[in-house]
Amino acid sequence: MKTVSSFVEHYLKTKPFLLNSLSEGIINLTSLARNMMPEVEKQLGKDIKQGAVVMALKRLTEELDFKINHKVIKVIKNIGEITVRSSLNDYTYAISDSILNKHAELITKINLQKDVFYTSSRGVNEINIVLSNSMDRTIEELFTGEKQIQKLKDLSSITIKLPNENVNVPGVYYYIFQRLAWEGIVLYEVISTSNEFTFLVSEQQVDIAFRVIKDLKNV
pLDDT tens-place string over residues 206-217: 999 999 998 887
Residues 157-179: tens digit of each pLDDT: 999 998 888 877 777 888 888 88
Determine the pLDDT at residue 68: 55
Q: How many H helices and E strands in the chain?
A: 8, 6
Confidence of residue 106 (pLDDT cuts 50, 70, 90): very high
Instruction: State if pTM tops 0.85.
Output: no
Closest CA relative to residue 200, chosen from 141, 102, 132: 132
Residues 131-141: tens digit of each pLDDT: 999 999 999 99
Could you tell me which residues come within 8 angstroms of residue 180 by beta carbon, excluding any fewer than 6 positions away?
187, 199, 209, 212
Cα separation of 114 and 52, whole Å? 64
